[in-house]
Amino acid sequence: MATVLAPEVLVDCACRPALARPVLCEEIRANCNVTACVRCGEISATVAIVDEPYPHDTHHVGNDVYALTGAARVWLAKFPRCTKRSGRGRGRIFLAADVRAPTEGILRELEEIAHEQQRHLDFVSRLRAAGVPDSAAPVLPHWLSDFRGLPGAIALTPDAPLKTIAGHMATFGDSGLVAADVFERRATYQTELATLLNDADRDMQLAAHEFIRDRRLLNAELIKIFERQLRGPEPPVGLGVLLSTFYTLGSLAKPLVPALRDAAELTRYARDRLQILRIAELVDA
């Protein structure tokens, strides 16, 4: 029989909910969490149960505990815990998996110490200091796949093959954040962005788009590639990804407005034409 926890409880243990902390990050997927108790060490993977009695009137009514295999539970438990309100970005502060706190007061003290020790470190250094599993991932449900690539991404060095780094960048989660930081340390990374955008492999193009959005980067070579893709056959990555990147770049993408208007004229679909023109208007504002 499935275990269902109260809305405020994310770990299936008898300890106070205030002693629970997210494993790696808050909401690994929408409404999905992996959470550990810093007092007893118990770990739970949960999926939020949401009731919607009327349209757009949603209520969080509980948390369904996902039945992890023993191997998955042991492996996931080796990831660090986030300090309170760390969120999902690069600014997260971590507690090592073996840290224990019998009371909320001691936990707050440990988090303050961790913040002081880590606030000058970059994201990769914080993860390495806190520790991640050094073994391959066991079988995990799809919604926990963000954990799978992280140990390999942590081991990357700037001299790794471009496609190996880009493969991690295309995964979007924390392994993508780590790989992007490694990629940026390559002396020729801006030239290699053009290589990735021109690659026939959709994942390589996705990796380039993720990096461009994250860094809000646009140079003359990238503008030429985007102009060619807008005026030519749709690239493997698809029109939606292109437009999403331009939306994120905002006014930086203004040099692409003529190519966007050309693309709107060339498309056969009214919906695509409206989307393209809307993005052109936004970046031209």
* Residue 171 located in a structural domain: yes
In this prediction, residue 15 carries a pLDDT of 97
pLDDT of residue 1: 60
Task: Compare 54 and 2 and report the one with higher pLDDT.
Answer: 54
Query: What pLDDT score does 214 carry?
Result: 92
Same domain flag for 59 and 176: no
Residue 85 reports pLDDT greater than 80: no
Give the integer Cα–Cα distance in Å for 1 and 14. 19
Name the residue with higher pLDDT: 227 or 141. Answer: 227
Write the DSSP string, 158-208: TTS-HHHHHHHHTT-SHHHHHHHHHHHTSTTHHHHHHHHHH-S-HHHHHHH
pLDDT digits (tens, 9 = 90+) for 238-277: 999 999 999 999 999 999 999 999 999 999 899 999 999 9
Considering the domain architecture, whether residues 87 and 57 belong to the same structural domain is answered as yes
Kindly report the pTM of this predicted structure.
Answer: 0.85
Residues 11 and 124 in one domain: yes
Same domain, 33 and 97: yes
Residue 144 lies in a domain: no
Q: Residues 240, 279: one domain?
A: yes
**Are 14 and 58 found together in one domain?**
yes
Task: Supply the pLDDT for residue 89.
Answer: 84
> Which residue among 72, 100, 132 closes a domain?
132
Q: Of the residues 182, 217, 252, which one is the last residue of a structural domain?
A: 217
Domain that holds residue 24: 4-132
76 CB-near residues (< 8 Å, 6+ apart): 23, 34, 43, 45, 68, 140, 144, 147
- More confident position, 225 or 53: 225
Total domains in the fold of the chain? 3
Q: Are residues 163 and 106 in the same domain?
A: no
At residue 2, the pLDDT reads 78
Q: Is residue 141 part of a domain?
A: no
